[in-house]
Structure 1
Amino acid sequence: MRRLRDYLFVRHRRNWVLLTRFALVGLTGVVVNLLVLVVLRRLGPPVDDALVALPPTRYSVRWYHLYSTLAFLAANLWNFQLNRSWTFRSAHHRGWRREYGPFLLIGFAGQLVGLVLLTLLMHPESPVHLPTHVLDDSTGLRTRLYWAQLVVIVVVTPLSFVLNKVWTFAAVRAAAGVPPTPPRAGAGRTGR
């Protein structure tokens, strides 16, 4: 049992710190995401109205798809800047635009997955739609779109963390010729 603890917590301490920082940044990003979503929902057309038909199908892009995407873009930019300067500390390794490209690409991949999940949660004929008798949009806490967006964020965040750690920020440091952080003295010992 001690070996497992050592392996999970001592040897991978830096990863746990990064994950914690990433999660804290993510929490602030959730607030940004939801604030933008609330403003768009209040100022724009009804979320379930069709925005663009998808011929030849009977399906349409809905306003909630656009609102979710705009909220994602605002939160993605917010999260990128905080992750760049605090979580992964890569601000001095490469130019902002060159680093934001992969981060945005990963974010868009997550957003596409999120839009599919959002559609499943919002569409009344979906087997996993959020119940309209409970989430009847009568108050902020009973708004289906907000809860659906939260579910999407919870599902997409772990994937985003792994891809950004492995690709976006690690690739930037490698391209800049920055060696990986060496393990701390004693970090590899198992306590024997």
Structure 2
Amino acid sequence: MPRRITLDHLGEMLRFGLVGGSGVFVNLGVYVLLHKLLPQDPESVFLPLPPTDFNIRWVHVLSSAAFVVANAWNFELNRLWTFRAGERASRTRFLHFFAVGLVGLALQLLLVTLLIHPRSPIELPTAVFDGSTGFRTRTYWAQLISIAVVTPLSFLFNRLWTFGQSRVRTAPAHDDAADQARA
């Protein structure tokens, strides 16, 4: 029998969206704070990757640090509020959440790279994103766009794998009148 979407499911999706939205602010807040503390341009090289012409850039380091903080934030809020796992959330559940997050981070870093790389077909144009203000900072937009793309995938995998067993499962309604009619 196909499962139906209930008000509980809709409430869960709404709560996950609110937690995710708060996580976006945490992620971007940490990113902006670290960007302000960094003495050089986030697009500068952190670590070259010889013999290729690719590099790990400061933007990747900042994105990774922001991810770790936002991931811990989201796990706790999802555990307590969205999926109401309470104390049933173990280290294993956190490891699942973190593993999903790491896959999301890899996708996010790839997308950030494509959005700032000069030879990428989806590079954010420096004529528009010239860094003259916070709203015109290319790495901020790359971070925000990558979060928006990766978030739906994270929800799906966390709902199914990380918190799949924490939701309360109810037994089908029992119809005493139907049972008596059959007897």
Q: The TM-score by the shorter chain falls in which range?
A: 0.7 to 0.9
Residue 139 of structure 2: which of 114, 139, 145 is its match?
Answer: 145
State the match for 2:59 in structure 1: 64
Structure 1, gaps ≥5 residues long: 1-6, 186-192
Residue 25 of structure 1: which of 19, 22, 25 is its match?
Answer: 19
Question: Counterpart of 2:86 in 1: which secondary structure?
Answer: coil
* Structure 2 Cα separation of the partners of residues 28 and 117 of structure 1: 21
Equivalence map 1:3-152=2 (5 Å): 11-44=5-38, 45-95=40-90, 97-152=91-146
Correspondence 1:162 to 2:156:
yes
Letter in 2 for 1:153: I
Task: Quote the RMSD (CA, aligned, Å).
Answer: 2.0
- The change in CA–CA distance for 1:94 and 1:41 in structure 2 (over 3 A counts) is closer
* Structure 2 Cα separation of the partners of residues 65 and 90 of structure 1: 32
Runs of at least 4 residues of structure 1 off by over 6 A?
none
* Structure 2 Cα separation of the partners of residues 11 and 17 of structure 1: 10
Normalising by the residue count of structure 2, what TM-score does the alignment of the two structures yield? 0.87
**Residue by residue, what CA displacement relative to the aligned partner does 1:104-130 show, whole Å, maximum 9, x if unpaired?**
000000000111111000112111011
Question: Counterpart of 1:61 in 2: which secondary structure?
Answer: strand
Letter in 2 for 1:180: R
- The change in CA–CA distance for 1:184 and 1:24 in structure 2 (over 3 A counts) is farther
Offset at 1:183?
6.2
- The change in CA–CA distance for 1:52 and 1:184 in structure 2 (over 3 A counts) is farther
Between structure 1 and structure 2, the one with the greater Rg is 2
Letter in 2 for 1:161: F
* Structure 2 Cα separation of the partners of residues 20 and 182 of structure 1: 24
Instruction: Verify the 8 A CA contact 2:79 2:89 in the aligned structure 1.
Output: no
Structure 2, gaps ≥5 residues long: 175-183
* Structure 2 Cα separation of the partners of residues 128 and 151 of structure 1: 12
* Structure 2 Cα separation of the partners of residues 160 and 154 of structure 1: 11
Identity of aligned residues (%): 46
Normalising by the residue count of structure 1, what TM-score does the alignment of the two structures yield? 0.83
* Structure 2 Cα separation of the partners of residues 29 and 134 of structure 1: 27
Question: Counterpart of 1:131 in 2: which secondary structure?
Answer: coil
* Structure 1 Cα separation of the partners of residues 115 and 78 of structure 2: 29
State the match for 1:180 in structure 2: 169
